[in-house]
Amino acid sequence: MNQGYPPYPPVQQTRTSVMAIVSLITGILGFIQVLPVLGPIVAVITGHLAKSEIKQSGGLVTGDGLATAGLVLGYLTLAIGLCALCAFVLLPLLGISLSIPFLNSGY
């Protein structure tokens, strides 16, 4: 009458999304200006792809926080870059000099 125990169902391992890691790394590299243009663009694209992958995995893929951090850094770097570009384009058109006065004084 020894029936034993039923076998356990196989345990499904969770894994961290590679795209979420790539998003965070390129977001950091873009923010510290190692990859000033390419980094934030890659961070935003891979961050959105990672979030989609994580949502569709049903809990088997993790890394939502990494993807969010990559997205924040990517969008922040793009916004700062856009503001800087506008300043360097619009201010001279308005006649405002971007030079530092004491550098042009001849001393």
At 64-106, the pLDDT tens digits run: 999 999 999 999 999 999 999 988 888 888 777 666 665 555 5
Q: Dig out the tokens for 85 from the structure.
A: 């570009």
Q: Does residue 44 sit within a domain?
A: yes
Average pLDDT over residues 30-49: 96
Q: Does residue 81 sit within a domain?
A: yes
| Cβ count within 10 A of residue 45 | 17
Domain assignment of residue 84, given as a range:
15-98
Q: Does residue 9 sit within a domain?
A: no
Average pLDDT over residues 1-18: 82
Percent of the chain with pLDDT over 90: 65
**φ and ψ of 33, to 5 deg:** 65, 30
Q: Does residue 94 sit within a domain?
A: yes
Q: Does residue 5 sit within a domain?
A: no
Q: Does residue 106 sit within a domain?
A: no
Structural domains counted in the chain: 1
Q: What residues are paired with 16 via a beta bridge?
A: 62
Q: Does residue 52 sit within a domain?
A: yes
